[in-house]
Amino acid sequence: MKFDTPAGANPIDRMRVVGQPLDRIDGPRKVTGTATYAYEWHDVAERAAYGHVVGAGIAKGRLASIDISAAERAPGVIAVVTAANAGPLGKGKKNTASLLGGPQIEHYHQAIALVVAETFEQARAAAGLVRVAYVREPGRYSLTREIPHAVTPQESEIPPDSEVGDFEGAFAAAEVTLDATYTTPDQSHSMMEPMASLADWDGDRLTVWTSSQMIDWWRSELARTLGIHADKVRVVSPYIGGGFGAKLFLRADAVLAALGARAAKRPVKVALHRPLIPNNTTHRPATEQRIRIGASRDGTITAIGHESWSGDLPGGGPEPAVQQTRLLYAGEHRMSRLRLATLDLPEGNAMRAPGETPGMMALEMAMDEMADRLGMDPVEFRIRNDTQVDPEQPGCPFSQRQFVECLRQGAARFGWARRKPHGSVREGRWLVGMGMAAGFRNAPVMKSGARARLDGDGRVTIETDMTDIGTGSYTIIAQTAAETMGLPVEAIEVRLGDSDFPVSAGSGGQWGANSATAGVYAACMKLREVVATRLELDPSTAEFFDGRVHADGRSVPLGEAAGDGQIVVQDAIEFGDLDERKQISTFAAHFVEVAVDALTGETRVRRMLAVCAAGRILNPKQARSQVIGAMTMGVGAALCEELVVDDGRGFFVNHDLTSYEVPVHADIPEQDVVFLDEADADSSPMKAKGVGELGLCGVPAAIANAIHNATGIRVRDYPITLDKLIDHLPGAA
């Protein structure tokens, strides 16, 4: 199905199943422990052995020697794999560093060996017997030190430079200006389920049960790394315990499991132990951002500039932290720049809402600072500078933009009018304040396919390699099929996460739900046409509801078209250029109340509200869950999350969940989520967009702005920990 004109009326508009707050159909399996995650496959491959990964102990250099003889003699050991005996290996196009290092070491904890044994305990013990001698080389580990050497990136998700009008001249002439620098730290994904894989060879054919957000990407990248044809690789990942972008790209556990299974001549299971994950896998890279805003005294922005510096390994790319600034606010004169420093730290890459999350941590704090300088309310300042067109391309309107409505509804619901001047509200030893920030994320789409099967009993089975990373893909896909075919959701079976199924969009970048359900819709519409034709009904007038097909004065049970067999169809949604003719984006307004201890600087978040305009909401219960999870992640980004760099040795010091702090239940207060009524016909036949990343963008800045309102202290370096506040607090006075 080609989607190149805005969606008209279609079966999804009935909203009998789609748009309803249904419970997750995979929920019972998850709470009973019968949903199988990557490390839990026990009955698909006989006599599975266990692999334990050895990570490099230096950040840059080479292996002088690696002695595996003691490990090979250890009890239960079957094989030890290193780069020296693994055979020729390629590198995936989406991997910056090799997933098995040696002799060159590209980053700390890069995998350099896999010890395979009969039990996990034997593999772990033997891994400690691997003896490695290194030759260290000087490395670059400090973003601050490398910023003077940063360059315009050759590879970037967005053009690294943009300019409209005369930014420098307009900024210099502005009546009120802000020129401030903000920093965000390296951050870890910290998903519940670690990276894990079980690999099994059947002759020259490889099956990997793993934890992957993007099945087809992994299949092709694994084949490329191993030097085999993609048709020889099957990837299975029906349940995933979180990813946040860390599982978008092939990781070392899958490659090493495949190599270990080949060496051991039996299935091998590998999990990356938690302390290995921050350095071995990807992370959100640190940024330094300079924002300049110029405005007239009435609050109209005349100049807005955003420059961001980040770092990555050679061959990597920048954190696209300026992309929201190019679209969110009006301003005749504009400039943005991305610069990339070469660092020898582990790979920086996608983490939930890459670009907008750190970018809005800076931009939305700057907008509050500018509102203060103007003496304007922060909500009104944002409303004053709304735009209904792409500011860089005025001929390109937004398909829908209810940003102002998000702001106004949010302010009314949250009681924003009761907000007091900075540092003026005190409850005992607590300083209390309110803050807000905009939320913004584009709504990309991607080609997505599905297969639909109709049985004689009127049941429909959907097969697609789409993944469920905890977001509810099973349920919204079932709802889509049920709505389109006129069936109850109980009559739909959904099978996901297998490369034997049609290729989908996968889960990531806020493109997953909209794209994948549109692909299922395309397959079901094709199935409707075949069914009507078999029943000798006019497909153009046939209506599907109550498990029957109605047309030409007849009403026939749906299953009758399949008879004693099945009808099987396959289709995909292919998107045209609507997203080039209109800017398709999602918007939110985040409001937060905090209390800061006047003696210790401890910050407690008391209330949170998100008002979102994100197209048609396919399942309000699941969408709310996504947003409150994202809001929780925003608390971490604002107050505690930071991978601390040892800039002498080049690694993240706090590489476990003991020392890398994330929010816990006691940190999270009352959270409220409101979705505005919206159906975007330019987005897809579903008229949806996405919410999973929108719910995070802006939350850290709203917290930072609330802290400033509570204390009068402006901290521009995240996370806002008590040590950055305590010397400036009023204490008990």
**Catalytic annotation, residues:** 693
Helix (H) / strand (E) element for 484: namely helix 473-485
Token pair for 149: 């050497």
- The amino acid occupying position 721 is T
Report the alpha-carbon distance of residue 695 to residue 633 in Å, rounded.
9
| Cβ-contact 188, 277 below 8 angstroms | yes
Cα 220 to Cα 90: distance, rounded to the nearest angstrom: 12
Nearest CA to 605 out of 409, 433, 359, 415 is that of 433
Residue 500, CB half-sphere, CA atoms under 13 Å: how many?
8
Pairing state between β 430-442 and 645-646: unpaired
With b for 16 or more beta-carbon neighbours within 10 A and e for fewer, the 284-312 pattern comes to bbbbbbbbbbbbeeebbbbbbbbbbbbbb
CA distance 73 to 50: 16
SS (H, E, C) 255-304: HHHHHHHHHHCCCEEEECCHHHHHHHCCEECCEEEEEEEEECCCCCEEEE
Side-chain half-sphere exposure of 341, counting CA atoms within 13 A: 22
Residue 55 bridge partners (DSSP): 111
Helix extents (H) in 582-724? 620-639, 699-711
DSSP-derived secondary structure letter, 395: E
- Count CA atoms closer than 13 A to 319's CA, side-chain side: 36
Strand partners, 589: 438, 611
Residue from 533, 518, 457 nearest 681 by CA? 518
- Assign 167 to helix, strand or coil: helix
What is the C-alpha to C-alpha distance for residues 513 and 623, in angstroms, rounded to an integer? 10
8 A C-beta contact, residue 219 and residue 500 = no
Report the alpha-carbon distance of residue 590 to residue 364 in Å, rounded. Answer: 11
Report how far Cα 442 is from the mean position of its chain's Cα atoms: 13
d(CA 710, CA 154): 43
Does residue 209 contact residue 39 with C-beta atoms inside 8 Å?
no
Rounded CA gap, 638 and 452, in Å?
44
User: Which tokens sit at 556?
Assistant: 């026939």
Task: Please provide residue 460's backbone torsions phi and psi, each rounded to the nearest 5 degrees.
Answer: -120, 135
Could you write out the DSSP letters of every residue in 20-37?
S-PPPTTHHHHHTT-SPP
Q: Using the 8-state DSSP alphabet, how is residue 616 labeled?
A: B
